Amino acid sequence: MRAPLFLLFLVIGLLPMILQRFVMNRSFQQTQIDGRVIEVQNQCLITSDRLTRAEYLLSPGRDALLNKELDTIADIFNGRIVIVDQNFRIVKDTFKLAEGKINVSEPVMRCFQGENSMLREDEKQYFAVTAPIYDNTADRNIVGVLLTIASTENILSNVDSVEEKARFFTIVAFLMLVIAGALLASLLVRPFDHLQASLDRMAEGSMGENVSENTYRETKKISEAIQKTKTKLQTIDQSREEFVANVSHELKTPITSIRVLADSLMSMEEAPVELYREFMSDISDEIDRESKIVDDLLSMVKMDQSVAELNVSQVDINALVQQILKRLGPIADKRNVELIYESIREVKADVDETKLSLAISNLVENAIKYNVDNGWVRVTLDADHKYFYIRVADSGIGIPEDKQEHVFERFYRVDKARSRETGGTGLGLAITKNVVLMHYGAIRLLSKEGEGSTFTVRIPLTYIY
Ligand code: ADP
């Protein structure tokens, strides 16, 4: 970014400088020459008027003073004055080269015809102006022509010297522009350099520092985005650590119980068979628990891996829900919980049958588990043109408001002891939410402590790949 900015400044700075020099040079030279032409023309008219009044052409050699004056004027203009009489004969030449010769040049001829002309030869660095000389009669006949040739050489050399000075200033200005451009470019880019340095430090592992570069709106926005990403990364990191700690803890708990049970059996001499049986049954329960945790973990890890693993097909959702309720019926019966199924319409949708079945089972199982004896669980299936909705409502213990946002987290349990009693792993709702999200759906919870909970799942009827 620095180099393009620097170049941009140079171009922006140089362009007007070059244009100005080009235009100024041209016009300066032009005005200088134009000024000199007007000056010579005026002088030429004044002199021709004097020559007329002095009747110079009657005897050109006589008026020595006038001749001297003509020489002086020619010198001043660094030029030459030539006077031509009626017969086109040169009667006066300040260079003394052409006296007596004939001059029928175009400007002279045109002047005799009453037309004041000017001939300009920029290449040859001179110009020529003419002025008529009249006789002193009332008719004012043109009896001669005053031809003044002036050199522009000294003007051009003046222009050259001015140009040389201008060139010097241009070089100085250019150097200043280069320095200013480089400074400005690096100044403008500096906030981005700071950001880059912060990012480099973050990449090296220093996550502690805050990234805040508020010089420009853009850098402020980038800083905020970096800060957000950093917080997210930190949260992910933290939750990963927590997850590993939780997994280890969860896996260890049944093993510890098994060990305690086995140790106490072993420490007893000649324990009765009933006690053995009871302890073995407890050990078997703990093994079941362990295996459930492992199963849940495996299904969760699988779901985390990739969405592409969804095995989508058209599924009769009514049949699916009925099947789940049938399977869970015996568990509900144990606590005399009534399972009610309400199907508002037939629903067929593109879903992964196994995964969705697992997700809905978790919800219904929870509704039974966290219910009261003789309670009820109502499962409602409905659909509109875009989505189908499965609502699982129960008359159970409900979830306190401040805990509701956490229940979808892995290993989160509102009441650890109760959940353990009922064989919960704390992974059920996390798995359900994952499945719903994989189907581009949403899950919502409404609950009041002591009154019951309602989980509503919304999933699109057609799966968009
Ligand atoms: P668990 O395996 O412990 O049931 P879940 O992830 O399925 O884990 O649920 C997380 C926690 O949310 C549960 O421990 C329980 O405290 C609470 N919970 C879930 N469903 C309900 C419900 N229908 N009624 C009351 N509490 C519930």
Same domain (yes/no): 104, 135: yes
Same domain (yes/no): 269, 333: no
Residue 367: what pLDDT? 96
Has residue 385 been placed in a domain? Answer: yes
Has residue 107 been placed in a domain? Answer: yes
Which of 370, 377, 411, 454 for mutating ligand 1's site (highest number of atoms within 8 Å of CB)?
A: 370
Residue 306: what pLDDT? 54
Residue 419: what pLDDT? 63
Q: Which residue bears the tokens 């189908």?
A: 388
Residue among 140, 142, 138, 136 nearest 55 (CA): 136
For the record, the structure tokens of 398 come out as: 């409900």
Has residue 64 been placed in a domain? Answer: yes
Residue 234: what pLDDT? 85
Same domain (yes/no): 340, 447: yes
d(CA 83, CA 57): 9
Instruction: Report CA(366)–ligand 1 centroid distance (Å).
Output: 6
Pairing of strands 452-460, 387-394: antiparallel
d(CA 222, CA 202): 14
Which of 358, 413, 418, 433 for mutating ligand 1's site (highest number of atoms within 8 Å of CB)?
A: 413
Same domain (yes/no): 73, 92: yes
d(CA 367, CA 318): 19
For the record, the structure tokens of 399 come out as: 């979830």
For the record, the structure tokens of 218 come out as: 């853009």
Instruction: Report CA(424)–ligand 1 centroid distance (Å).
Output: 8
Domain termination residue (choose one: 254, 276, 303): 303
Instruction: Report CA(443)–ligand 1 centroid distance (Å).
Output: 14
The structural domain count of the chain equals: 3
Return the residue whose CA atom lies nearest to atom 4 of ligand 1. 424
Answer whether 428 contacts ligand 1 (Cβ < 6 A).
yes
Return the residue whose CA atom lies nearest to atom 7 of ligand 1. 428
Per-residue pLDDT of the chain (465 residues; tens, 9 = 90+): 788 888 888 888 888 888 887 787 778 878 888 888 899 999 999 999 988 988 888 887 778 888 899 999 999 888 999 999 999 999 999 998 988 899 888 889 999 988 877 888 877 888 999 999 998 888 888 999 999 999 888 777 777 788 888 888 888 988 998 999 899 989 988 988 988 888 888 888 877 778 788 888 988 999 999 888 888 888 888 878 877 887 888 888 889 989 999 999 889 888 889 989 999 999 999 999 899 889 888 877 777 665 557 889 999 999 999 999 999 999 999 999 999 999 999 999 999 998 999 999 999 999 999 999 999 999 999 999 999 999 999 999 999 999 998 999 888 888 877 666 666 778 899 989 999 999 999 999 999 999 999 999 999 999 987
Instruction: Report CA(110)–ligand 1 centroid distance (Å).
Output: 117
Answer whether 341 contacts ligand 1 (Cβ < 6 A).
no
Q: What is the CATH number of the domain that holds 105?
A: 3.30.450.20
Same domain (yes/no): 235, 140: no
Q: Which domain holds residue 107?
A: 2-159
Q: What is the CATH number of the domain that holds 348?
A: 3.30.565.10
Answer whether 94 contacts ligand 1 (Cβ < 6 A).
no
Same domain (yes/no): 278, 153: no
Between the alpha carbon of residue 406 and those of residues 385, 400, 410, 413, the distances in Å are 32, 11, 9, 8
Has residue 321 been placed in a domain? Answer: yes
For the record, the structure tokens of 427 come out as: 């992974």
Same domain (yes/no): 265, 367: no
Residue 72: what pLDDT? 92
Answer whether 429 contacts ligand 1 (Cβ < 6 A).
yes
Q: What is the CATH number of the domain that holds 233?
A: 1.10.287.130
Same domain (yes/no): 288, 365: no
User: What's the pTM?
Assistant: 0.54
Residue 118: what pLDDT? 80
